[in-house]
């Protein structure tokens, strides 16, 4: 894969990972309530589940690419529309991140890893999202699309784990800032919208 493609993928992945969503909010909640090691354990479980989604996409999308370029284009188009739909949902939602740490049950480290893995694997939205996201960074002319997808999946896992772990470590400070600064919620909301729209446009570029 070209270096430029990898850099573009990492930039888009980091933007998506830092955008407030169920996964990073859950990591924050565990860290706030029980300490950073519990947040990191949760993060490890969540990103481990990505291996399953990456494998499903690698074998499914690769077959489509080999057998039908038109169908592959259709997948990219549907992916772009899906990302625009996500942007619309964020636009319609309230610009508020709820970090109330009052009722977060404490689990063991292994229990959190297991729970994070199951949460990720059983979430069909993750596969749908990756199916919308990954095709934009696949170079059909380079061949071996399975390897390309697994490389992208590995990169996504690494950056997500590092970011989630960093969130865990600075959870207390981040929580205070988010609670005291209402404008930051609005900024994060619009960052999400711009990221989703930007990637949707990028997917459809020739």
pLDDT tens sequence across 103-148: 456 778 888 899 889 878 877 677 777 877 887 788 777 778 888 8
User: At residue 174, does pLDDT exceed 70?
Assistant: no
User: At residue 159, does pLDDT exceed 90?
Assistant: yes
**What ranges in 19-123 are assigned the alpha helix state H?**
22-34, 36-48, 50-67, 69-92, 109-121
Indicate the number of domains in the chain.
Answer: 1
**100 is a domain residue:** no
List, for residues 18-62, the tens digit of each pLDDT value.
876 767 777 877 887 777 888 899 999 999 989 988 888 888 766
C-alpha to C-alpha distance for 23 and 20, rounded to whole angstroms: 8
Give residue for tokens 């989604």: 53
Q: What is the pLDDT of residue 173?
A: 66
Backbone φ/ψ region at 184: left (φ over 0), alpha (ψ -120 to 50), beta:
alpha
**197 is a domain residue:** yes
C-alpha to C-alpha distance for 180 and 2, rounded to whole angstroms: 43
Kindly indicate the confidence band of residue 78, based on its pLDDT and cuts at 50, 70 and 90: confident
* Average pLDDT of the segment spanning 147-174: 87
Q: What is the pLDDT of residue 181?
A: 60
* Most confidently modeled range among 11-20, 74-83, 149-158: 149-158
Give residue for tokens 């784990």: 161
User: At residue 155, does pLDDT exceed 90?
Assistant: yes
User: At residue 177, does pLDDT exceed 70?
Assistant: no
Q: What is the pLDDT of residue 161?
A: 94
Q: What is the pLDDT of residue 158?
A: 94
Structural contact between residues 117 and 49, judged by C-beta atoms closer than 8 angstroms: yes
Q: What is the pLDDT of residue 41?
A: 92
**199 is a domain residue:** yes
**2 is a domain residue:** no
**5 is a domain residue:** no
**146 is a domain residue:** yes
Provide the domain limits for residue 134.
Answer: 22-91+108-204
Pick from 8-12, 87-91, 136-140, 200-204: least confident: 200-204
User: At residue 102, does pLDDT exceed 60?
Assistant: no
**194 is a domain residue:** yes
123-139: b (≥16 Cβ within 10 Å) or e? beebbebbbbbbbbbbe
User: At residue 179, does pLDDT exceed 70?
Assistant: no
Kindly indicate the confidence band of residue 154, based on its pLDDT and cuts at 50, 70 and 90: very high
**17 is a domain residue:** no
Q: What is the pTM of this model?
A: 0.73
Biggest CA–CA distance in the chain, Å, is 54
User: At residue 101, does pLDDT exceed 70?
Assistant: no
């Amino acid at each position: 894969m070209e270096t430029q493609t990898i850099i573009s993928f990492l930039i888009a992945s980091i933007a998506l990972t830092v955008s407030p969503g169920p996964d990073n909010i859950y990591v924050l909640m565990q860290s706030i309530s029980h300490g950073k090691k519990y947040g990191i354990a949760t993060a490890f479980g969540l990103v481990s589940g990505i291996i399953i989604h990456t494998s499903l996409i690698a074998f499914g999308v690769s077959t489509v690419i080999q057998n039908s370029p038109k169908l592959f284009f259709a997948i990219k188009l549907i992916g772009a529309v899906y990302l625009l739909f996500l942007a619309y949902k964020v636009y319609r939602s309230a610009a508020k991140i709820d970090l109330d740490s009052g009722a977060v049950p404490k689990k063991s480290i292994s229990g959190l890893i297991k729970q994070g893995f199951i949460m990720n694997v059983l979430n069909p939205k993750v596969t749908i999202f990756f199916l919308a996201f990954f095709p934009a960074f696949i170079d059909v002319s380079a061949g071996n699309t399975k390897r390309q997808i697994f490389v992208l999946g590995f990169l996504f896992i690494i950056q997500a784990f590092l970011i989630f772990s960093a969130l865990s470590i600075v959870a207390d400070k981040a929580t205070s800032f988010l609670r005291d600064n209402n404008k930051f919620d609005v900024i994060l909301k619009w960052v999400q919208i711009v990221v989703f729209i930007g990637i949707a446009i990028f997917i459809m570029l020739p």
